[in-house]
Amino acid sequence: MFEFSVVFESPTDNRFHIRPDDIKLINDSVAGVFGKAEIEQSAGKLVSFFQSRGYWCPFTLDELQRYYKEKGWNTNAVFFGLVGAWYDDTFLPTWNESWPCLGISPDGLHYVTDHFILRCANKLG
């Protein structure tokens, strides 16, 4: 079981020590931190969304899909490998459990976790 906490900031209250712009993206992807290219693409695009906002803000799925459409990205797999079980169809096809990357509140707001940020920044030991 992973330990994590949800990160939420406002434009005037940026308390998490790693900022969205601190995370390097290569072709809208975080390279080599999740072990599967499709998950690294999902994570990188989500980081790109936060970079456009300037902080780790809560967001709705509608806001994220609107951002994806503006960028011309496919909106069908926005959270692939970041939420729930995900299917790996490579060498030995298996279902895998995702890392604790996102939290969702009862009012539909989504939040990233410190685990997500640290993994994307390649700061997990």
d(CA 73, CA 85): 22
Q: How sure is the predictor about 9, in pLDDT bands with cuts at 50, 70 and 90? A: confident
- Look at residue 70 and tell me if it is in a domain: yes
- Look at residue 90 and tell me if it is in a domain: yes
pTM: predicted TM-score of the whole model, two decimal places: 0.89
- Look at residue 83 and tell me if it is in a domain: yes
Q: Which tens digits make up the pLDDT trace of 83-107?
A: 888 788 877 888 878 888 999 999 9
- Look at residue 44 and tell me if it is in a domain: yes
- How far is the CA of 40 from the CAs of 36, 77, 94, in angstroms? 6, 12, 18
Q: Which pLDDT score, from 0 to 100, does residue 125 have?
A: 53
- Look at residue 30 and tell me if it is in a domain: yes
- Look at residue 1 and tell me if it is in a domain: no
Q: Which pLDDT score, from 0 to 100, does residue 49 have?
A: 98
Q: Which pLDDT score, from 0 to 100, does residue 35 have?
A: 84
- How far is the CA of 7 from the CAs of 48, 82, 117, in angstroms? 16, 15, 9
- Look at residue 125 and tell me if it is in a domain: no
> How many Cβ atoms sit within 10 Å of the Cβ of residue 125?
3
Q: How many domains, in total, are found in the chain?
A: 1
Tokens of 7: 């990160």
Flag whether pLDDT at 1 surpasses 60.
no
